[in-house]
Structure 1
């Protein structure tokens, strides 16, 4: 399966999240290739899954990846949510991808700091998702104060088996992983 992650241009958290998801997939025993925005040549058939950073900086290749992905994950930041002109290009890319690839599951998530989203930011997020047919809002991700790594506010809600068996990433990332790589036919 191809999992394509995208966000607003210059957002380094997309690359970090792609790396975390690929690492969790490898830990699950799968052969995974983590693909950069401008990859070299590779044989996709050698891998069970491709986790692709389809950020806009490699636009033609990134858009082609979105058109072939089984799952598209759009990662937003709170500051971007309040400025429609910043996310308009991402919204247009996602709509194009949906037209080219109607079978892809589209998940939208937001990574925010320790302060929760404001009511306005939450409203903007819901409006963003509502503009994408068949898109679904995934769990939000909580960044630490340096805005470079994830931490967990929700670990006490997580099943004990996940706490013991999957220690590689924060609970939110593991939950997102389960949403992305859920078995076919489950909702």
Structure 2
């Protein structure tokens, strides 16, 4: 496959070779070690009622039957951990699927995703919401909104525990780039490209007069 890089003055064409085996291995490491992990818990009357959403990464799936059926119906609790990968994984997927132009985004990759920082940011936002609720006059406090914020904070505590050992995806960036080999095959200055485009446009115009 080929990758075309644009500079201020020219376009450069490269032949692209990737170390697919190493790239796939790195992809798995990034998913396992850098994803934001969220725990999901659902209740269903039958295990067959649950359909795992397509395209997600998950671990620790299990289901259990609640001992005492509610309203005489059997109830199952289904739980799993969803791994939400960083954009770096998406870029690797594009590359593995033959889309070489994603290299331009890989070269400029600077998102530096850290799951625990995402959790801390949401924690700050939730605490701010709680403070606003609690400073309202008693008659204006929205009890339901307050309950939802407290429940969200509880879920966030669980999420922080799940993500405490996750790391920044930047530690794998150099290894990802080492899997990509670019060999220059041609280059063309932009003035020449513009002249060719103008020439083709003129020819097309004359042909259709």
TM range (shorter): under 0.3
If the length of structure 1 is used for normalisation, what is the TM-score?
0.25
More RCO (CA 8 Å, sep 6+): 2
